[in-house]
Amino acid sequence: MFVPLEKYRAILAGKKRTKLQENRDELDTKISEAQKHLEHCNLCEWRCGVNRHQSLGRCGVSDKPSIASVFLHFGEESILVPSLTVFFHGCNFKCVFCQNWDISQNSGNQYVPPDVLARILNSHKKAKNINWVGGEPTPSIPYMLQVMKHIHGNIPQIWNSNMYLTPEAMGLILPFIDVYLTDFKYGNDECAYKYSKIRNYFSVVSRNHKMAYDHGEIIVRHLILPGHLECCTYQVIDWVADNIPDAALNLMAQYRPEYKAYDYPELRRRITKDEYMAAYRYAKRRGLYLIDEQIWLEYINSL
C-alpha cells in the first residue's frame, strides 16, 4: 500500500537526515544569493524589482520581515502536528476570502533577529517540524535562510506557501525543504485574478508544484470554494493526478466567507455536503491519496 511522506516519516523515526542537515554546506552560498534579491526583488512572480532595503515590496515586506507569531500548531495535517509555525506578515496575493487577512494584508513591525528566532525555535523540543508560513513566506526567504544557519538538530523544514515563486527563489529553498505544504487555490487564471488579483496563476503554480515534487515530498492543499467544482476543484485534481500522482492531497472543506468575500455574491456561503462529496469521489476515482480524509468526512457530515 502506498504511504506518502515516506522520507519525512523516516526523519521523525531518526532513520534519515533532513535536507538541511544533508546540505548545510550550501547555506552560506544560498544566503549570499538571497541577499542580492533584496536589492531588486524578484522572489515572487510579480518581479516588482523593489529595493527592499529602501521600501516595501508589492507584498508589503521590507528587508526585515515582521514575525506575526511563533507557536506550536495543532491544527495542521495530523502527520505534521505539533508543528512549530513561524507566521510572517505580508503576502503577494490579495485573496478576497483570506482567513488570515489581518496577517497577510498587514506589513507588521515585529522584526526578530535571525539568531534570536533560531534560539526560540531550538528551544521547542516537542515540535515535529518547523513550518514557514504567512501571510506568505516567499518574501522572507533571505531571512529564513539566515535563521536556518542557526537551527540545531534533525528537524524537518516545511514550506507552507501559495507557490507563486520565481524559479530563482525555488532554487534558494530546494536544498533545505523536506515537505512542501502547498496551496493550490485555482484551476484557471480567470478565478485567480478575480479573487486574488494574480496573473498567470496556473502556469506559475503548476510549474512550482512540479519542481517541489521532483525535489521533496508534497502535501497539496485545495480549499474548495462554493460553486467552483468544475472550474477549479476538478481541474486541480486532474492536474495533480496527471503530474504529481504520489502527492498527498488535502481536500479542505472549511471555507467560510471572510474579509471581502461578501462583496462577491457567489462566495457568501459555505460549501455544501454535496459539493464536498462530489470533489471527494472525483479525487478517489483519479486514484489520489487523500490525507486526513476521515477527519474531513466527519466534519462535512456534522454540518
**Percent of the chain topping pLDDT 70:** 100
Whether the model clears a pTM of 0.95, i.e. scores above it, the answer is yes
Domain 20-52+62-302 has CATH 3.20.20.70: yes
Q: How confident is the model at residue 233 (pLDDT cuts 50, 70, 90)?
A: very high
pLDDT at 3: 78
Q: Tens digits of per-residue pLDDT, 135-189?
A: 999 999 999 999 999 999 999 999 999 999 999 999 999 999 999 999 999 999 9
Interval 47-53 mean pLDDT? 97
Provide, for the chain, the percentages of residues in helix, strand and coil under a 3-state DSSP scheme, each rounded to the nearest 5. Answer: 40, 15, 45
Q: Are 300 and 251 in contact (CB under 8 A)?
A: no
Confidence check: pLDDT of 211 > 90: yes
Confidence check: pLDDT of 1 > 80: no
- The per-residue pLDDT of the chain, averaged, comes to 97
pLDDT at 193: 98
Strand order in the sheet with 289-290: 67-73, 83-88, 129-133, 157-161, 179-183, 217-223, 248-252, 289-290
One-letter amino acid for residue 99 of the chain: Q
Q: Which residue has the cell 534558494?
A: 172
Q: What is the residue extent of each domain of the chain? A: 20-52+62-302
